[in-house]
Amino acid sequence: MNKWLRLGCFCVCSVFLIIALSACKQEEKLTKVKVAEVTHSIFYAPLYVAESKGFFKDEGLDVDVNTTWGGDKTMTSLLSNGSDIALVGSETSIYVKAQGAKDPVINFAQLTQTDGTFLVAREDAENFNWDQLKGKTFLGQRKGGMPQMVGEYVLNQHHIDPHKDINLIQNIDFANISNAFASGTGDYVQLFEPTASLFEKEGIGHIVASFGEESGQVPYTTFMAKQSYLKKNEDTAVKFTRAIYKAQQWIGKHSAKDITEAIKNEFDDTDPDVIEMSIERYKKQHSYSPDPLLNEKEWELLQTIMDQSGELPKHIPYSELVNKQIAEKVTSEK
């Protein structure tokens, strides 16, 4: 091999080595963030869009999302440092504060702004009226959780006492509620998507009302972290929120079909048509928050809902558990 050929080979190898080292260096620069999500749901589409569209990576973040299945497990993960950020109902931060936590959990970015459940009836009701629930068996959600509290709030708004006027069942685990209804238990059930649309498609039940439309805007699901984490990692929290905001804006500008394409790999066992149908419902009722800012009016409605259901341990001022500065900084950027 002549010296020119050897030199050429050396140069090519050097270039590849530099590229490889640069790639490794770039990967090393990514800040790891562990996120615990309370459940894995189409309701959380902006989170998955932020990942699939590379918005987290653009911010220099390597986000690892793990499903912890339940508000109690999610908060345990956060409080024990098993995760850095939790995606869960805002009510959990109030419960933690009321227990006297020295390092309270702070809400810093809102993901969804309405309830995400639908009222599914076993029998089709062409002209549904809420009074039709009276005397019937209703499969509700876990006591003390946002779905159940919003459910009771809506029933009360329609002059239905959930503990007197209906046979309310609350002792079934979240993961088994849909199976119980499909097996014949209950006349009505409160379900998230895509199960609600799937049941309607398969003829198991019929969507007759939306708890999200009935209850109004509330900080239903937010990103939160311990106060100490936000103090030490404010820059990371800002980058994380900026990525979420990009995803929220992207969702606002794209169709349900486009969003389905972006997140379908997160739901391999769900028909893309059902995913699209679910997203369309959520977009129609504005469940996906257009920005990460949790406002005080929503915070007060949350506590009104908790109080009416008998689950509010004490009123917590907005300023104590909500960091609005991070979301305001991100949304004010150009």
The Cα–Cα gap between 263 and 267 comes to 7
Residues 3-33 pLDDT 10s: 554 555 444 445 455 555 444 444 568 999 9
In this structure, the answer to whether residues 80 and 173 fall within a common structural domain is: no
The CATH number given to whatever domain includes residue 191 is: 3.40.190.10
pTM for the model: 0.89
In this structure, the answer to whether residues 234 and 259 fall within a common structural domain is: yes
Does some domain include residue 89? yes
Does some domain include residue 172? yes
Residue 238: what pLDDT? 98
Residue 178: C-alpha distances to residues 9, 21, 45, 191 (Å): 63, 50, 21, 7
In this structure, the answer to whether residues 161 and 135 fall within a common structural domain is: yes
Residue 16: what pLDDT? 53
Alpha carbon distance, N-terminus to C-terminus of the chain: 57
Residues 228-273 pLDDT 10s: 999 999 999 999 999 999 999 999 999 999 999 999 999 999 999 9
Residues 108-160 pLDDT 10s: 999 999 999 999 999 988 899 999 999 999 999 988 889 999 999 999 999 99
Does some domain include residue 11? no
Q: Which of 159, 181, 215 is the endpoint of a domain?
A: 215
Is the confidence at residue 2, as pLDDT, over 80?
Answer: no
Angle between the N-to-C axes of helices 296-308 and 91-98, in degrees from 0 to 180, rounded to the nearest 10: 70
In this structure, the answer to whether residues 46 and 176 fall within a common structural domain is: no
Segment 155-181 mean pLDDT: 94
Residue 234: what pLDDT? 97
- Per the rule left: phi > 0, alpha: psi between -120 and 50, beta: everything else, 39 is beta
In this structure, the answer to whether residues 92 and 231 fall within a common structural domain is: yes
Residues 94-114 pLDDT 10s: 999 999 999 999 999 999 999
Q: Count how many domains the chain has.
A: 2
In this structure, the answer to whether residues 243 and 275 fall within a common structural domain is: yes
Does some domain include residue 10? no
In this structure, the answer to whether residues 222 and 327 fall within a common structural domain is: yes
Residue 25: what pLDDT? 44
Does some domain include residue 20? no
Q: Which of 196, 215, 234 is the endpoint of a domain?
A: 215
Residues 218-228 pLDDT 10s: 999 999 999 99
- Domain extent at residue 269: 31-114+218-332
Is the confidence at residue 81, as pLDDT, over 60?
Answer: yes
| Residues paired with 213 in a beta bridge | none
